[in-house]
Amino acid sequence: MIFQSPGDILFSINNFSVYTYGVIMAVACLVGVYVSYFIYWKLYPYEDYNRIIDCGAWLLFLGIVGARLYYCLLNPSYYFNNPLEIINIRQGGLSIHGGLIAGILTLIFFAKKYKLGVLKLLDSFACGTALGQAIGRWGNFFNSEAFGAPTNLPWKLYIPLNKRPAGYINNEYFHPTFLYESILDVCIFVILLYVIKKYAKTYNGLTVFIYFTLYGIIRFFIEQLRIDSALNISGIPIAQIVSAMIFIIGICGIIYTGYEGNKGLRD
């Protein structure tokens, strides 16, 4: 199966183009927030879950800002010389790691402000985030970006000449890493739904730490396939380093929540 983007422009009105990437990212964010809201409501129906809607707009805005600034920081020379391009996100340039950091800080702030359980909120949004990421990765497909090394596997992604990196001009087909991550994110979402339904009320925080662990593993290995790393440290892509850190945080968090949950059961 050969994947090929039909183009990055969804439609145009006069000289204004609407990019498919932006539409997909908007859908991904809205679905992620709604699913998180629904899960929180189902698990904790007697809490003031309407506050989630209050922070939802801020979460979307700050998440995008964080994702963009993180991406720009990884490409400092270009954006230092072209500062106005920082606000041009219509054609891509968002980092999931940056969005995660900004999103987590935003959720912690609003949880404290509205006296909601921090870990309960993070658990619910871990599920919505995984699903949102699965949808959002298709934006990379339409932009012909975030692909892997050249391949001749039956499933492969055609990249047009103007989107191929230097050194790969003669290669037409690449690993569709967007597809790999999208499928794996759906798997994470299904696992998290099971975990949060079965263990959320006993082990607060377990769901979000399992998300960190699984996503850290997935992103670490997918980065080994990709050839578009924005920044390397001693030859290692920064995304792999951050993913390894997320994995470690996840493992430590699982151990901590397991201990606290078992302690509560004993008490």
For residue range 229-239, what is the model confidence (pLDDT) as tens digits?
767 777 788 88
Q: 141 with 160: CB under 8 angstroms?
A: no
Report pLDDT for 12: 85
- DSSP summary character for residue 15: T
Strand, helix or coil for residue 148: strand
Strand, helix or coil for residue 157: strand
Report pLDDT for 267: 42
Give me the number of domains the chain comprises: 1
What whole-number distance in Å separates Cα of residue 25 and Cα of residue 21?
Answer: 6
What whole-number distance in Å separates Cα of residue 4 and Cα of residue 153?
Answer: 15
Q: Could you give the residue ranges of the DSSP H alpha helices within the chain?
A: 20-43, 50-73, 76-81, 96-113, 118-143, 177-199, 206-225, 238-266
Q: What parts of the chain have a pLDDT lower than 70? A: 47-50, 90-92, 230, 259-267
Report pLDDT for 200: 84
Report pLDDT for 264: 45
Strand, helix or coil for residue 205: coil
At residue 158, φ and ψ (nearest 5 deg) are: -80, 130
Q: Which domain holds residue 13?
A: 2-266
Report pLDDT for 208: 96
Report pLDDT for 266: 43
Report pLDDT for 49: 64
Specify the pairing of strand 236-237 against strand 232-233: antiparallel
